[in-house]
A and B are shown apart, each in its own frame.
Chain A
Amino acid sequence: MKLKIKLQYIATPAKIFMAVLVILCLLSILQGICIEIERTYARAKRLTAKEKPEAELSQEERRQDRIRSSSKEFLADGTIHLISRLERTSGQRNQSEKVQIYDVNDKLLWEGPRDKKPYEYLFWDRQFQVSRDAFTQQDLKRTQMITPGFSRYIEIPVSSDSKIEQIWRYHPAAQYFKGYDMRGETIGYVGSNGFTESKSEVKPLGEFRQFTAWCPVDSYNPILLLQTQKSIYQINFEKQEVELIFESTDSDIRRVNLFAWIDAKSDDKEYADPNKYRPLLHCETRDGKHHLILREPKQQLSLNLRRPSVSVVATKQDIFVRNIGSDMPPLPDINSSQQLVDKWVQEVQKKSWNMWTELYKVKNNGELELVNSYKYVRPPLSEPVAKARDPRPVVQRYVCQFSPPLYDLIIRYFGERFWSGSYLYQNRGDFFYDLLKVILEIRPYDGIINRILSVIMMGFVFWHGWSRRTSWARFIFWLIFTGLFNIAGLLTYLALNHTAVIKCPVCGKLRGLTQVDCVRCQGQLPAPERGKLDLIFSA
């Protein structure tokens, strides 16, 4: 009996929690189905819709548009050309697409297929992550996900002739590689201090960020370029060599760009003459510094640029830096509210801004020397897009009016900081990230319909629960609960409070049966009238 009473304090909240969770999930699924149907329909409509004829532009507007959309390329001597695509196709550049090349004075220099252009422009480094086969932190997390087939591992084989002789497995928690021979016995470890034989000697490589692997031209065995939080390593498993390419003592590595670094067939090598360029690893740390690690010959430079989005390339003669900038106000801090970001977008859209592309040469002392620059004006949008309070499609907006107002409270409290802040750096667990994404997708956005629905449902709960109430605390709890959870709250209430009511024989009003006495008149259930002909005689 005592257990029954004690359990009530755990079991009742558990019951409510379970019920509301299941109902919220069912509601989310239904909402998701409606939203997907709408999206599919909208996609189909877009595909079958006739293209709107483009508005007639003046000559100046056409010029400005051409300049804005063209890519600004540099020759080795610093000359700037503007390359426009004749056919506006979306997606990546097609080498055979037709282009026009203009100089800075709007003079057409050449027109024809891109791969036939007579000029040799400088190539620029590309972000490590963008390269096709980079294995990122997100990929690692995905492999570590628990599935019925178990989580996966990165395993690097080392073979001789046609037989595999060693396998090196990456242990994410321990942050090192462990090697096995083909009999399953451990042969060693690879950490930041190189190859070691014992576990006690190995030092962790650091928190994993990304890697790419390739087979050199003369080998079947992989080399790894591994980036951690503060370091970049190049690991040759066959030769059992670990080369520390770069290590940041203070701040984390923010971005790594490569050019011609990987000794394998890649986009860089296909289009860049290896006799003219030096392999380059360009590393930007969070304190704004740019570190260049070059080969042929080996060289290491640090540039104090304090500018994001610079590209670097190193020819045999010089090192060039390209900077693309504007006088637009900087984007609000990553941790700031969505409202500030929206305000920034509005401001940027309605004004014209000066834009420029600059080419610098890096001197031996690390200073930059401006070689050339090109300035132009980015016109304002003809019709600035006003960001709607709720920018989602119509069906989604209406369907989400049935979502709990609690979602808006969660986003208001957590969303701005969680979502735009640390989650972008993927420091949190995936579950909360995914949950917040779902909540963002189906939140009611403080809609008036949502509020009205909540009030109506609270009214229903009031009417339904008035005759059934066992205590004021429970009654008020359910009212607030329904107000916070909307239809999910109402359904939970109905699921857990389906007690029957009868007409009180004393006051004639509806009363519940969970209490002996009527909640209104405190009248008890009356005993039936004894029939005159009943035969009731005690023993």
Chain B
Amino acid sequence: MSEIVLETEGLTKYYGDSLAVDHLDLEIPRGCICGFVGRNGAGKTTAIKLMLGLLEPTAGSSRLLGCDSSALTPAIRQRIGYVTEGHRLFRWMSIAGLEKFQRAFFPKQWDDKFFTDMIEYFDLPKKKKIKHLSNGQRAQVSLALALAPNPELLIMDDPTLGLDAAIRRQFLEGMIGLIMREGRTVLFSSHILGDVERVSERIVVIDKGILRAYCSLEQFQEAVKKVIFTFADSVPNEVNIDGLLHCKRIEKQLELTLVGTDDEQIAEWAKSAGAENHTIVKMSLEDQFIEFTAPANQKRLFKWEER
């Protein structure tokens, strides 16, 4: 049985009277690469900060590496790497200065060669000050600072925010380097589902503070389907198929988003509904995520779409 490195139980956070995280229950085992996704304002950053003890929960609890998040000891923090949202670092420091600063907190763990290799790989001069770096370069420095101490648990809050495709690829490759070390656990939040798809084993989907999905990536991708049914005459008024999430009528076609419905059930319903044929649409993780988290009656962003 794998050890649980991160667990939350009923984790709840209110900002004033608005609910940010609602009874989040998670258990992330050691060695797991977990993508943490959700729409804007879903509560991802709040959840991460609760886990790291930067916020106090309204209710519930969170434990990292066996230690209560609100009382993380220095020894536990040493085993956790954290890449902050926006890669906020001390602007007046140089990369070498930051290295020296960071190293002081990891006297035994710090991998000098690894850090230097990473910085050289990203082609960053050590004497350059943080304020003179671009967003992407700062992200690279952040990652190097977080990975060099060889942390057991790496938590990253939207690490690729604002990065171009090439830099994101480099970043992910750096992360893969860490993943390849045995027993490392990674939890990272991201808006870019392609990145999550690329590296994650498990996925956590949070929507309006509520946990909607926590499963393996394959399970999620297998479960969320979009099927288009074509009818010869009229489209049925009632759709009663298991797992129905969304239903859209387009002339003689019915577009259904289904969760957890297997192919046999789909075929059976198609036959009973009198569909001429049905097609399972191939979806990317991003499409699946959008469908999974879309509200029942989604409004159009632009009025011209309603014509």
Contacts and interface: CB of A to CB of B under 8 A. Distances in A.
B186 interface: no
A500 B224 CA distance: 38
B249 interface: no
B17 interface: yes
A536 B212 CA distance: 7
B270 to A, nearest CB: 20
Nearest to B73: A1
Given A500-B16, A501-B17, A528-B23, A535 B220 contact: yes
A537 B23 contact: no
B219 interface: yes
Contacts of A537: 214-216, 219
A533 interface: yes
Interface in B5-38: 10, 12, 14, 16-17, 22-23, 27-29, 32
What's the interface size class on A, roughly? 10 to 19
A501 B58 CA distance: 12
Nearest to A537: B215
Contacts of A536: 211, 213-215
B259 to A, nearest CB: 4
Interface residues of B, number: 32
A173 interface: no
A502 B14 contact: yes
Given A500-B17, A513-B14, A525-B12, A535 B32 contact: no
B63 interface: no
B210 interface: yes
Chain B contact residues: helix, strand, loop or mixed = strand
B17 A539 contact: no
Interface in A1-52: 1
Given A500-B17, A501-B17, A524 B59 contact: yes
B3 to A, nearest CB: 11
Given A536-B214, A539-B2, A516 B59 contact: yes
Contacts of B260: 533, 535
Contacts of B2: 539
B243 interface: yes
A539 B27 contact: yes
Nearest to B18: A500
Contacts of B10: 527
A344 B296 CA distance: 86
A185 interface: no
Given A1-B71, A513-B14, A525-B59, A534 B22 contact: no
A365 interface: no
Residue of A525, A527, A528, A535 contacting most chain B CB atoms (<10 Å): A535
A105 interface: no
A57 B151 CA distance: 103
Contacts of B212: 531, 534-535
A534 B245 CA distance: 10
A200 interface: no
A142 to B, nearest CB: 48
Interface in A482-539: 500-502, 513, 516, 524-525, 527-528, 531, 533-539
Contacts of B23: 525, 527-528
A528 B17 contact: no
A538 B71 CA distance: 26
B223 interface: yes
B210 to A, nearest CB: 5
Given A527-B10, A539-B29, A533 B245 contact: yes
A108 to B, nearest CB: 87
Given A513-B14, A513-B58, A528-B22, A539 B211 contact: no
A502 B32 CA distance: 37
Contacts of A524: 59
B214 A533 contact: no
Given A513-B58, A539-B2, A539-B29, A534 B211 contact: yes
Contacts of A531: 212
B213 A538 contact: no
B138 interface: no
A501 B12 CA distance: 15
- In the A-B complex, the 3 residue pairs with the smallest Cβ-Cβ separation, listed nearest first, are A527-B23, A535-B213, A500-B17
Interface of B: 2, 10, 12, 14, 16-17, 22-23, 27-29, 32, 58-59, 71, 202, 205, 210-216, 219-220, 223-224, 243, 245, 259-260
30 contacts: A1-B71, A500-B14, A500-B16, A500-B17, A513-B58, A516-B59, A525-B12, A525-B23, A525-B58, A525-B59, A527-B23, A528-B210, A531-B212, A533-B243, A533-B245, A533-B260, A534-B211, A535-B214, A535-B215, A535-B224, A535-B259, A535-B260, A536-B211, A536-B213, A536-B214, A537-B214, A537-B216, A538-B27, A539-B28, A539-B32
